[in-house]
């Protein structure tokens, strides 16, 4: 009976966290990851192009068009999807789950910073290529990146269960 109770508490806690972090509009991800994204991008662009910053807007030397890093650039929904993958898998010890979430978030943060720096360089040096590069990195690259990070996590942390499916399977087993 104790094991069944722990299982119910685990499901409730994991999915409660998923619901709470989504409300309102992923604000927690933007609150945490906006400065963690904007300032490294600024520092790298400053090394390359003599940049200045005001809020989330980066100005490059005498270049007329500033680079504004908006919420979509921060990709709060991608962090949320990674959190969903990590919390919708049962039977993972607490500290291992924390390591997995940190690995996923740090991996995405690093690649996202590199993506924004690269797109900024394209915007400055080859503006005619910016739109297509931006659209490809947004529509294709972000999805591929999140899925790739999850598959790397599965291999690195030896995850055997399937998100959601394993929980549903366990629930139906406990009901019987």
176 — pLDDT class (breaks 50, 70, 90): low
Query: Is residue 90 within 8 Å of 170, Cβ to Cβ?
Result: yes
Residue pair 82/105 in contact by the 8 Å Cβ criterion:
yes
Q: What angle do CA 137, 139, 141 make, to 5 degrees?
A: 40
Would the pTM count as exceeding 0.85?
yes
**Mean pLDDT lowest for which of 21-25, 149-153, 165-169?**
165-169
DSSP element (H, E) containing 57? strand 57-60
> Degrees (nearest 5) of the Cα angle 104, 74, 140?
75
Please give the tally of structural domains in the chain.
1
Expressed as residue numbers, the domain containing 145 is 2-175
pLDDT tops 60 at residue 1: no
């Amino acid at each position: 009976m104790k094991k069944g109770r722990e299982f119910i508490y685990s499901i409730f806690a994991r999915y409660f966290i998923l619901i709470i972090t989504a409300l309102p509009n992923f604000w927690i991800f933007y609150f945490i990851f906006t400065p963690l994204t904007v300032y490294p991008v600024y520092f790298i662009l400053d090394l390359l192009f003599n940049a200045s910053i005001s809020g989330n807007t980066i100005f490059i030397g005498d270049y007329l068009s500033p680079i504004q890093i908006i919420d979509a650039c921060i990709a709060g929904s991608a962090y949320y999807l990674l959190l969903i993958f990590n919390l919708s898998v049962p039977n993972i010890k607490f500290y291992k789950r924390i390591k997995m979430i940190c690995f996923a978030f740090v991996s995405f943060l690093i690649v996202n910073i590199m993506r924004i720096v690269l797109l900024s360089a394209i915007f400055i040096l080859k503006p005619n290529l910016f739109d297509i590069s931006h659209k490809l990195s947004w529509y294709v690259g972000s999805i591929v990146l999140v899925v790739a990070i999850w598959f790397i996590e599965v291999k690195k942390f030896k995850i055997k269960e399937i998100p959601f499916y394993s929980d549903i399977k366990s629930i139906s087993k406990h009901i019987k």
